[in-house]
Amino acid sequence: MTGSATPGQAPDLFDAETQTLLAARTAHAACTHPGQDACGQALGDLVLAYERLLRETRRLVRRSDRAELEMTRMNAQLQELAAELEHRANHDPLTGVLNRAAIIELVNRHFGREDLALVVLDIDHFKRINDSFGHPMGDQVILGVVACLQAVVPPTAHVGRVGGEEFTVVLPQQDASASHRVAEALRQAIESHPFDLPDGSGVTASFGVCWAPAGSDFDSAYGLADEALYVAKRGGRNQVRVSATALQPFEHVV
């Protein structure tokens, strides 16, 4: 019998030690001549001690392997937890889109290297929906609006919820004309969406659009888009208005 692995088995880490132990056992068995008792006794004791040491080492290696597997499993769980916590920190819990802080960080990061358009929209008469039909129905309306936005925006766009019924759509590398067309498509998608309110009424939203060049910042662009949104609100709602003010590169609105 040897310590070598048979076909299909993993190699024995202690193959050399096992071979040495087998050789010692053979030598001990040969110690049967007169005058070799002391030598045989010493060799026998050494064999027993070596066997115990080898068994203990194997046990420690198995324990180490189990600990390594457990550490690998725990590390994977920690990575999943970290990813989940990061997602929760950056996303709105109801809709799953980016939250206000994440949108601000995203917009400022984009402005560091490129132009972009910012669309701000607000659900019309949302307080009436909550007051008349309850907050669960209001939540369903919000989810329906987000579904409309996600179905229409281009692949490079980002959707965020910046308030209770207020949303922002970030459109990188879009000029004012293109962003106006996107906003109008969003408005039409919401207007035609079946929200199934108890009274059969529909849902609409008002939009404000601002284009800004690289070097701008969120507060400046958002301020202009928000002003355009309120023009749409005062003009009768369910419409898109584009900011008449254009930000200049590296110039901020005060």
> How is the chain split into domains, by residue range?
15-87, 100-242
Phi, psi of 216 (to 5 degrees): -80, -170
Instruction: Evaluate if residue 193 carries a pLDDT over 80.
Output: yes
> Which residues lie below 8 Å from residue 165, measured CB to CB, with a gap of 6+?
122, 123, 126, 138, 142
Residue 37 has pLDDT above 80, yes or no: no
CATH number (3.30.70.20, 3.30.450.30, 3.40.50.970, 3.30.70.270) of 100-242 reads 3.30.70.270
pLDDT tens-digit series, residues 201-215: 999 999 999 999 999
142 Cβ contact partners less than 8 Å away, ≥ 6 residues apart: 94, 95, 123, 161, 165
Which residues are annotated as catalytic? 165
Angle among Cα 105, 106, 107 to the nearest 5 degrees reads 95
**What is the bridge-based pairing of β-strands 240-242 and 205-212?**
parallel
| % pLDDT > 70, the chain | 82
DSSP calls for 90-130: HB-TTT-SB-HHHHHHHHHHHHTT--EEEEEEEETTHHHHH
